[in-house]
Structure 1
Amino acid sequence: MDDDRIWAFEESLWVGDAAHYHELIDDECVMVLPAPPFVMSGAEAIEAVSSTPRWERVEFSEQQVKRPQEGLIVIAYHVVASREGSDPYSAYCTTVMRWLSHEVWRVVQHQQTLRGVVGGG
């Protein structure tokens, strides 16, 4: 997967509907999010995120892409996400994607650290 497609894939997870989210998150995914219960896996992680309102706009910065082995992509970035009627959300994130078959990738790990916690601002 080329870098442009990686970032389009990641953006789709922030703005896509619940069905799209279910399609792209692996059943064995592990997530760490800045809200209780903080550490989640499998269906619990999928439901926790898919049941929250989707973001309307996301902006990525400080983007890094690593390919430690064939079929595995690790990304890190800063995101600012926003939607009408809510304060912007700012976090540092990591996502690990694994290749299943031609053009089919799934998220197996995702982590978010609120920007206010990292760097004090």
Structure 2
Amino acid sequence: MEDTRIWSFEKSLWTGDADVYRELVDDECVMVLPAQPFVYKAEAAIEAVSDTPRWSDVEFSDQQVMRPQEGLITIAYKATAHRDGEDYIAYCTTTMRRLEHDVWRVVQHQQTLPPVAGGATEG
């Protein structure tokens, strides 16, 4: 999959509804999200998306694409998402595997929130 299509695929996961997740998220996917219970298997992630308002727009920066082997793509990026005056920033990774020609599924996704300014630090 070429880079332009990768980022379009990823954007659809941020802005699309639960049907998009059902189509693009593998049954064996694992996700780590910044909300309880934090670690989700595919069906739980789809259910969580069904109950969450979708982002109206998302921009990606600090984008990296890795192709460690044929049929496997891992991306890393900073996401800045928007909806109804609300902004959300997270650092993310997603891994996709090819099932067949032009058919890809997400097998891993992770979001890390940046530290809050003035928050507690370890020391």
TM-score (norm 1): 0.91
User: Given that residues 17 and 49 in structure 2 are in contact (C-alpha distance below 8 angstroms), is that contact kept between their aligned partners in structure 1?
Assistant: no
Distance 1:42 1:16 in 2: 16
Using structure 2 for the length normalisation, give the TM-score.
0.90
CA apart distance, 1:117? 5.4
Does the 8 Å contact 1:29/1:45 carry over to 2?
no
What does the per-residue CA deviation read over 1:74-115, in whole Å, with 9 as the maximum and x for residues that have no partner? 000000000114x20000000000000111000000000012
**Cα distance between partner residues in 1 of 2:39 and 2:116:** 17
Match of 2:88 in 1: 89
User: Which residue pairs with 2:5 in the alignment?
Assistant: 5
Corresponding residue for residue 78 of structure 1:
78
Relative distance call for 1:47 and 1:91 in structure 2 (3 A) is: same
Which of the pair has more CA radius of gyration?
2
Q: Which residue of 2 aligns with 1:112?
A: 111
User: Alpha carbon RMSD of aligned pairs, Å?
Assistant: 1.5
Q: Percent identity?
A: 69
How many matched pairs?
A: 118
Q: Any unmatched runs of 5+ in structure 1?
A: none
Task: Give the distance between the partners of 1:117 and 1:70, measured in 2 at CA.
Answer: 38
Give matches, 1:23-102, under 5 Å: 23-85=23-85, 87-102=86-101
1:33 positional shift: 0.3
Q: Give 5+ residue unaligned stretches, structure 2.
A: none
- Deviates most, 1-10 or 14-23: 14-23
Structure 1's 53 and 5: CA in aligned 2 closer, same or farther, altered over 3 A? same
| Counterparts of 2:16 and 2:36, CA distance in 1 | 23
Contact 1:76 1:93 in 2 (8 A): yes
Q: Which amino acid aligns with 1:113?
A: T
Structure-1 separation of matches of 2:49 and 2:113: 16
Q: Hey, what does 1:21 align to over in structure 2?
A: 21
Q: What is the letter of the counterpart of residue 108 of structure 2?
A: Q
8 A Cα contact 1:63 1:77, kept in partner: yes
Question: Secondary structure at 1:88's aligned position in 2?
Answer: strand
